[in-house]
Amino acid sequence: MSKDLILLFSDKKNEELSPMHKQFNWRIKRLNALESEYKKVKNEIADIKRIVQEQVSPLINDVAEKKIQFLKILDEAYQTHYFSYTEKRKIKSLILDKCFEIEKYYGGSPVVDEIYARYEDKEEDSLGVFDILNDLSKAAEQVLEGFQKGMEEGKKTENTEQSGQTPEEKQKVRHLQKSDKLAARLYKQLAKILHPDREPDEQKRVLKNELMQKLAEAYKKKDIFSILKLQAEYGDTDTKEDIFDQEQLDLLNNLLAQQIKRYEQDIHKLTVSGQESSLYKEFKGSKNQKEIRLEQYKQSLIQQLEELIDEVHILTDKRKLRNFLYYYEEGVHRRTIYERK
């Protein structure tokens, strides 16, 4: 191991630092920025959810109730002898579609589950929506399972042919073991300093208990960035600055790079691909922008609710429901059909 010691937080000018130390400093700055961005996005989403809960949720609930009422009308219509076999097939298809829509966008309800249960197992020439989705899902799972087994068998064969791990794989394992040992060493050093049982002062003991919990959580998550921040603030003060040699700094750089990637993935999930990303994309922005978008969204819900009230009223008439079913598979918008009357 190299004896060339490198300061963790150095007062040296940038040009006096090694490339490895410069890389370490850059990654620390990058993680600081990512951590701030992550917290900002999380707080913004929490604020958006609070506003939506207070101002929009009542309207969403009203829309959901009307959609369930619409579903009940279809269910009652199916039970009568007024409609033909072909019309009932359309009603069933529409019922399953509506059940899927309510479950996906409004969280479902016992009433919807009960109605869906009445139609999912009905034997007809064509399968229901959920049957088709389930069959496709099972087929995809079987294909994926076969592919994964093939990959695993191929890897086993390859490893057997190579008589064990490749040099690169062995190097990765050794590197991971060294990284774990370094993280464990930092954890143990800080745990000795922060352990509350060794603190006689009551107020300081409370603080150390909180810090120890943070340290334990960071170590559990392999959050080397948080461990380093705790070390910088609460580490051993006998020496002016904490130091690492070249090999340890290389390990730290790799751990920090992994953490940067995780932060970037988490932020992408929050803002682009995750379950809450649509909410964030819809309402992100300044306070004024949020208010404008929120008002627009509320107006769209009010309009949707008014249309649903009209539809529910219209479809209680069997003749008008039959007229709706006539156009149903042609993809004509319901409002257009009603306006033709």
Distance CA 224, CA 72 (A): 56
User: What token pair was written down for 41?
Assistant: 């996005």
305 is written with which tokens?
């609710």
For residue 151, the tally of other CB atoms under 10 A from its CB is 10
d(CA 26, CA 63): 51
Residues 160-219: pLDDT tens digits?
444 467 887 777 788 788 888 888 988 998 998 988 888 888 888 899 999 999 999 999
pTM of the entire structure? Answer: 0.62
What average pLDDT does the structure give for the chain?
80
Mutual angle of helices 57-79 and 85-106, in 10-degree steps: 160
pLDDT tens per residue, range 75-125 = 999 999 999 999 999 999 999 999 999 988 888 789 999 999 998 865 544
User: Which tokens hold the place of 204?
Assistant: 């300081």
C-beta of residue 83 within 8 angstroms of C-beta of residue 91: yes
What pLDDT does 91 receive? 92
Dihedral sign of CA atoms 56, 58, 59, 63 in order: positive
Work out the number of other CB atoms within 10 angstroms of the CB of residue 320.
Answer: 16
Residue 327 clears pLDDT 50, i.e. is over it? yes
Instruction: Please write the tens of the pLDDT for every residue from 91-100.
Output: 999 999 999 9
Reply yes or no on whether the pLDDT at 225 is more than 70.
Answer: yes
pLDDT digits (tens, 9 = 90+) for 289-305: 888 988 998 999 999 99
Is residue 139 over pLDDT 90? Answer: no
Could you tell me the sign of the dihedral formed by the alpha carbons of 50, 53, 54, 56, in that order?
positive
- Reported as a pLDDT band with limits 50, 70 and 90, residue 156 is low
Residue pair 214/254 in contact by the 8 Å Cβ criterion: no
Answer left, alpha or beta for residue 223, where phi above 0 means left and psi between -120 and 50 means alpha.
beta
35-39 contact pairs (CB < 8 A, 24+) = 35/225, 35/263, 37/267, 38/263, 38/266, 38/267, 38/270
Give the residue with greater pLDDT, 330 vs 159: 159
What pLDDT does residue 157 have?
A: 54
Cβ-contact 193, 236 below 8 angstroms: yes
User: Rounded distance, CA 83 to CA 322, Å?
Assistant: 8
